[in-house]
Amino acid sequence: MKKNIVLTLLLFCVASLSAQNWEPLFNGKNLKGWKKLNGTAEYKVVDGAIVGTSKMGTPNTFLATTKNYGDFILEFDFKIDDGLNSGVQFRSESKKDYQKGRVHGYQFEIDPSKRAWSGGIYDEARRNWLYPLTLNPSAKTAFKNNAWNKARIEAIGSSIRTWINGVPCANVWDDMTLSGFIALQVHAIGNASDEGKTVSWKDIRICTTNVGNYRTPDAQAAPEVNVIPNTLSPNEVKEGWALLWDGKTTNGWKGAKLSTFPEKGWKMENGILKVIKSGGAESANGGDIVTTRKYKNFILKVDFKITEGANSGIKYFVNPGLNKGEGSAIGCEFQILDDDKHPDAKLGVKGNRQLGSLYDLIPAPKDKPFNKKDFNTATVIVRGNHVEHWLNGVKLIEYTRNTDMFNALVAYSKYKNWPNFGNTEEGNILLQDHGDEVWFKNVKIKELK
């Protein structure tokens, strides 16, 4: 009797899985249910696959479903010739009042180049990269060149996750668009030698019923990135992250040399914390702001955007009472700078005052992933005496405090006269007013044990 019950349960589980309600989006014979948008590259059906062919003189060309999809699990096989770039749009739109109908929205990246970002998430014609594979380097080997690859996209509520050949690639938390069409892309080309190359898709199927029941467990997903400004995703809360700035108020912050938040020099607008331009002097207008709490071991993330020629910084292990005179409060600094336009970039030693450096102590590499026209993510990781600076998912520098080497660097820096600089057990976190307009958002911290 027990064997029969077990067999019945097993059959029920198998039946439940097979009843996942997969719906084919491509019938293997023609392009019924699809329409071409924007460009003039050709799509045709060859041996049960949709084949897109690259063409000179045309913008990106999309083959879009005539139906929109909200929550879904999408699977498809794809293959691409070397030299091309492509992708699969989802939750995407084409509206007359948005760039004359240009397709925009989430894109599953197909990238056979040495960069190897296939499976990453790009926001086509909108916010650009949401999840480059610099955030998950181990996924860069999932894609196989000149072969068929199997892709999976799970878009459920604000959660968007991808896989290639069973390897987790991207994981985004975002709510900008919760429904839209699915589209195959033939990317525009700039070299005549790439004309006639192809990208192909087959076995395209979608599940839209009870998708939460078939969601891949979190343990089998890529590290998550939350792109909803000034919020914490459920996963971030679970992992112990906290907002240092709530996106609206001055709660948790005060002037570095004040008992309250500065009355001038700072502005909160549309979820952005702005330093107001005031002539470029250090801490001479509103002044620096610091957390009302001190921190010891942590991961700190701050999104920042600079204006042309701007100078600012993110400081940690700050002692607000150390500098009673003019200028900024004293602490270790993740330098924020327009290296091309600000004169400070040429000062110091070997570039140790340039973007991402430990200011005046350790230079960041000159070759770093920085977008001057958009927001960038600065990350500072502190585990005891070990400290790391990261920019947009790439580690720039690491160093160890409370060592002879560190103390020697301090001795030859502008901080040589400040007692025990950088070696304190804990300190405040600071955003700097250097008289230039700089924007901050998504200020988050995870305290480590």
* Domain final residue, candidates 189, 222, 255: 222
Residue 7 lies in a domain: no
Residue 3 lies in a domain: no
Same domain, 217 and 301: no
Same domain, 238 and 204: no
Same domain, 257 and 162: no
Are the C-beta atoms of 71 and 102 separated by less than 8 Å?
A: no
266 CB-near residues (< 8 Å, 6+ apart): 273, 274, 275, 276, 286, 289, 433
Same domain, 140 and 253: no
Residue 12 lies in a domain: no
Same domain, 185 and 300: no
Q: How far is CA 438 from CA 214, 244, 342, in A?
A: 44, 18, 14
Q: With 60 as the cut, is the pLDDT of residue 130 above it?
A: yes
Structural domain that includes position 217: 21-222
Residue 10 lies in a domain: no
> What per-residue confidence (pLDDT) applies to 19?
53
Residue 8 lies in a domain: no
12-61 tens-digit pLDDT: 344 444 456 999 999 999 999 999 999 999 999 999 999 999 999 999 99
Same domain, 110 and 251: no
* Domain final residue, candidates 222, 256, 274: 222
Q: With 90 as the cut, is the pLDDT of residue 278 above it?
A: no
> What per-residue confidence (pLDDT) applies to 17?
43
392 CB-near residues (< 8 Å, 6+ apart): 132, 134, 369, 370, 371, 376, 377
Residue 76 lies in a domain: yes
- Tell me the average pLDDT across 369-383: 94
208-233 tens-digit pLDDT: 999 999 999 999 999 999 999 999 99
Same domain, 291 and 211: no
Residue 13 lies in a domain: no
- Tell me the average pLDDT across 364-374: 92
Q: How many domains does the chain have?
A: 2
Same domain, 279 and 395: yes
d(CA 62, CA 65): 10
143-197 tens-digit pLDDT: 999 999 999 999 999 999 999 999 999 999 999 999 999 999 999 999 999 999 9
* Domain final residue, candidates 222, 255, 288: 222
Same domain, 326 and 347: yes
CA proximity to 108, closest of 94, 123, 119: 119
- Tell me the average pLDDT across 280-285: 71
Same domain, 57 and 199: yes
Q: Is 57 exposed, middle or buried (0-12, 13-18, 19+ CB in 10 A)?
A: exposed
Q: With 90 as the cut, is the pLDDT of residue 338 above it?
A: yes
Which CATH number belongs to the domain containing residue 193 in this structure?
2.60.120.560
Same domain, 101 and 245: no
Q: What is the average pLDDT score of the chain?
A: 93
At 82, the pLDDT band (50, 70, 90 cuts) reads: very high
Residue 314 lies in a domain: yes
At 2, the pLDDT band (50, 70, 90 cuts) reads: very low
Same domain, 285 and 165: no
